[in-house]
Amino acid sequence: MKSNCLFCRVVAGEIPSTKVMETERVLAFRDINPGAPQHVLLIPKEHVADSLADLDLTDPEVTITWIELLKLAQEIAGGSPDFSDGWRLVSNVGENGGQSVFHLHMHLLAGRPLAWPPG
């Protein structure tokens, strides 16, 4: 755990969250500042990387965690009618990419048209 990392503190229970689902390696919880009616954050419980750019996919444990994160996104989206009209899975990388918390995470968004490019 990185003591100054917001998401590490969420995993440790130091910061409250509205849990959606979890596995041994991954936690999914509601975003406190949602960008869509359905906005779930999916994070590894262990701080394996600051962002997708830093992810070491040669490490088998990290690869398993990454796959589990993607499977959990599928499970959440597939198990809720709120995602039936479509959904988006996003990983922001770096400040210019919109990243504000430097702990690998994905945003699962749904519940409104998600046009691209945004805005």
Q: Tokens at residue 37, please?
A: 């009616």
Is 105 assigned a catalytic role?
yes
Cis ω on the peptide bond leading into residue 117 (within 30° of 0)? yes
Given 47, 103, 105, 107, the catalytic residue: 105
DSSP state of 31: -
Q: How far apart are the first and last CA of the chain?
A: 36
Query: Residues with catalytic annotation?
Result: 105
